[in-house]
Amino acid sequence: MTQDVMNQTFERFAMQILENNGSDSTPALIGMQSRGVFLAKRIQSAATKLSGIELDFGVLDITFYRDDFRTKLKMPEVKVTDIPFDLYDRDIVLVDDVLYTGRTVRSAMSAILDYGRPRSIKLCCMVDRGHRELPIAPDYVGVDVPTKENEEVRVRVAEMDGEDAVDVVEMTKDGGER
Amino acid sequence: MISMPDEYQFSQKHLLGLADYSRDDIAYVLNQAERFREVLDRPVPKIPTLRDKTIVNLFYENSTRTRMSFELAQRRMGADVVNFSASASSVSKGESLRDTIQNIDSMKMDMVVVRHKSPGVAHYLTRCVDAAILNAGDGAHEHPTQALLDMFTLQQKMGSLEGLKVAIIGDIAHSRVVRSDIIGLQKMGAEVTICGPSTFMPLFPETLGAHVSYHLEETLGWADVAIALRIQMERQSDVPSRIPSLGEYHQEYGIKMEHLEMFPDLKIMHPGPINRGVELQDAVADSDRAFILDQVTNGVAVRMAVLYLLSGSIEAESSSRGTASERPSS
């Protein structure tokens, strides 16, 4: 996926999110650390360009809610969570880069519900790579990529990685790239 | 946020004292504590991070603030908490510390928070059990979480610890807070002066590594922040005549409103509990230049961060060849 395609995708997301908005208040975006934050920002500016509306924007870190952090060797660093608006009765769009097992999204929903009681939560992801382990489905998808378990999907954003791109990389057993 | 090298990795197993922690370890704990501080302001200030952990609070000495703060931090993160206080336990029946801790360990505790009147108890416990040990004060040795919350509050209120001038005033000889504060603050690039009557100074006070002063006003004029220490009445029994009277101490070394007027940028902290009218004048303790209640709130966040970071070491410990008798690497 190239930069042009990604930019089109942000515009499409913005259009769909604004279109689906049934309630009085505008939907609010919450980006998941790390890359989801930048994706959500892009969607926010695309929506502003389209409609002149500035969507509320928040940042969520789900380290506290993960069910797997102890099985990893390294203790994950807790990143910033900053939700500067009241979630009560709002329509939330959760933005993540890659949707895989669904466990991250499960954690994110628990986290959001601790901040308040939103009217609804929808899920937006750049890539859906399949292999779900929980009953979770996305509402807005950039691209569906059927993958093998030993492949890794990498979403790169200019703000963090210097360029916009989506790649699928096959991994060897010892964690190296093939 | 305090700047950190990119490749840093937290690898401590216990928190026995800040002497074992490097500058980067301390900076990492303080940075992580900011995330936990945010949790305390949420509508639901509870996270499930430690829900699979059991923690015992082993308090051989009285404590209100530290114990409540630890327990709150543990419960906010969903841990199971067991409290043990020496006055209402088998200790009064003559059980030894080692036996007590081994019994507690047999009940599969993951972490032990310990306070004891003897220096080195926390360190001794690392050799008795596999659990992660957190020192909540051992005699006049160290009280690392108090120093961490002091530094967190200073970082939050003053913007940076680098180059900050901190005066610690009062009963230096009996204070474990002083030792941890001096070690931590100096590692973080702050300057420390200790000040008090000579009868409150330990033998060879210079060996603590801070500037030493016996003049309150001179010290307050130098400092950005003054930490007043509590006169520990309960530890004065052996030498009842260290100070002629509390009133006279207040006259000579108590921080009063006139000092706040004299030094308009001076800020005040106190580890609590305050003896009002002794180390601090009433109005000073209640003034908006005192961060004393911020310290208490921040204490919960700092303790959550420490519990979180050390909870990771328990698994690493049991899965590697490491044993509980290893000293933590610094």
Cβ–Cβ contact B315 with A under 8 A: yes
* B60-89: average pLDDT: 90
Active site residue B116: no
Residue B6 binned pLDDT confidence (cut-offs 50, 70, 90):
confident
**% of chain B residues with pLDDT over 70:** 91
Q: What is the mean predicted confidence (pLDDT) over B307-319?
A: 72
The total number of structural domains that make up chain A: 1
Interface probe for B, chosen from A67, A74, A77 (most Cβ of B below 10 Å), is A77
H or E stretch covering B49: none
Find the angle CA(A36)-CA(B24)-CA(A61) to the nearest 5 degrees: 20
Q: Structurally, how many domains does chain B consist of?
A: 2
Does B308 sit within 8 Å of A78, measured CB to CB? yes
Across chain B, what does the average pLDDT equal?
90
Lowest-confidence range among A21-30, A31-40, A144-153, B232-241? B232-241
Which chain B residue lies closest to A86 (C-alpha atoms)?
B43
- The answer as to whether B30 is a domain residue is yes
What's the mean pLDDT in B308-328? Answer: 57
Tokens matching residue B134:
């957190």
Which candidate, B232, B277, B230, B229, places its Cα nearest to that of B257?
B277
pTM for this structure? 0.89
Neighbouring residues of B67: CB distance < 8 A, sequence distance ≥ 6: B57, B59, B83, B115, B136
Check if B66 is active-site: yes
Query: Phi and psi at residue B292, in whole multiples of 5°?
Result: -65, -40
Distances (CA, A) of B48 to A17, A110, A120: 31, 10, 23
C-alpha distance from B48 to closest chain A C-alpha (Å): 6
What strands, in cross-sheet order, belong to the sheet with B111-116? B80-85, B54-59, B111-116, B132-138
Condensed to tens digits (0 to 9), the pLDDT of residues B100-140 reads 888 888 988 999 999 999 999 999 999 999 999 999 999 99
Segment B60-77 shows an average pLDDT of: 93
- Contact yes or no for B49 and A65 at CB 8 A: yes
Distance from CA of A15 to the nearest CA of B (A): 32
- Whether the CA torsion B196, B201, B204, B205 is positive or negative: it is negative
Domain for residue A176, yes or no? no
Say if residue B166 is in the same domain as residue B56.
no
Domain check: are B139 and B270 in the same one?
Answer: no
First to last CA, chain B: 22
Together in a domain, B227 and B240: yes
Q: Answer whether residue A177 is part of any domain.
A: no
| Mean pLDDT of all residues in B283-309 | 96
**Residue B110 belongs to a domain:** yes
Which candidate from B36, B47, B313 shows the least CB-CB separation from A65? B47
State pLDDT tens for residues A64-107: 998 776 665 567 888 899 999 999 999 999 999 999 999 999 99
* Over residues B202-231, mean pLDDT: 94
Q: Count Cβ–Cβ pairs < 8 Å, chain A vs chain B.
A: 43
**Least Cα separation, residue B303 to chain A (angstroms):** 15
Tell me whether residue B326 is in a domain: no
B164 shares a domain with B289: yes
In whole angstroms, how far apart are CA A27 and each of A30, B122, B237?
A: 10, 52, 66
Residue of A nearest to B6 (CA): A77
**Residue of A61, A64, A82 to mutate for B, most B C-beta atoms under 10 A:** A64
Q: What's the confidence (pLDDT) of residue B64? A: 84
| Max CA distance (Å), chain A | 52
Residue B156: CB atoms within 10 Å: 16
What is the pLDDT at residue B313? 66
Q: What type of residue sits at position A74?
A: K
* Closest Cβ opposite residue B49 in set A64, A115, A116: A64
Dist CA B187 CA A113 (whole Å): 40
Residue B121, number of CB atoms within 10 A of its CB? 22
Inform me whether the pLDDT recorded for A13 exceeds 80: yes
Distance CA A94, CA A125 (A): 8
What confidence score (pLDDT) does residue B320 get? Answer: 45
Q: In which band, very low, low, confident or very high, does the pLDDT at B17 lie, cut at 50, 70 and 90?
A: very high
Same domain, B91 and B217: no
pLDDT band (50, 70, 90) for residue B264: very high
How far apart, in whole angstroms, are the C-alpha atoms of residue B284 and residue B275? 12
CATH number for the domain that contains residue A13: 3.40.50.2020
Give the pLDDT band of residue B150 (cuts 50, 70, 90): very high
Whether residues B125 and B74 fall in one domain = yes
Alpha-carbon distance A59 to nearest alpha carbon in chain B (angstroms): 13
Rounded CA-CA distance B101/B121 in Å is 11
Task: Examine the pLDDT at B166 and tell me if it is beyond 80.
Answer: yes
Judge: B42–A115 Cβ closer than 8 Å, yes or no.
yes
B329 assigned to some structural domain: no
Q: Please confirm whether the linkage preceding B273 is cis (ω < 30° from 0).
A: yes
Considering the domain boundaries, does residue B325 fall inside one?
Answer: no
Residues B229 and B197 in one domain: yes
ipTM rounded to 2 decimals: 0.81
Predicted confidence at residue B232, as pLDDT, reads 79
Touching check for B47 and chain A: CB below 8 Å? Answer: yes
Whether the per-residue pLDDT at B266 is higher than 70: the answer is yes
**For A100-134, how does the pLDDT look when each residue is reduced to its tens digit (9 = 90+)?**
999 999 999 999 999 999 999 999 999 999 999 99
* Mean pLDDT of the region B192-221: 94
Question: Residue A124: which domain range?
Answer: 3-148
Q: Is the pLDDT of residue B295 over 60?
A: yes
Asked if A61's CB is within 8 angstroms of B315's CB, the reply is: no
| Model confidence at A140: pLDDT above 60 | yes
Assess whether B240 and B108 both reside in one domain.
no
The reply to whether B151 and B240 lie within a common domain is: yes
Q: Among residues B315, B309, B266, B303, which one has the least CA distance to residue B71?
A: B303
Does B65 qualify as catalytic in the annotation? yes
Any catalytic annotation for residue B117? no
The mean per-residue pLDDT over the stretch B198-213 comes to 92
pLDDT at B318: 52
Q: CATH number for the domain including B306?
A: 3.40.50.1370
Q: What range does the domain containing B41 cover?
A: 18-143+296-315
The verdict on whether B157 is a catalytic residue reads no
Res B239 pLDDT > 60 = no
A27 has pLDDT over 60: yes
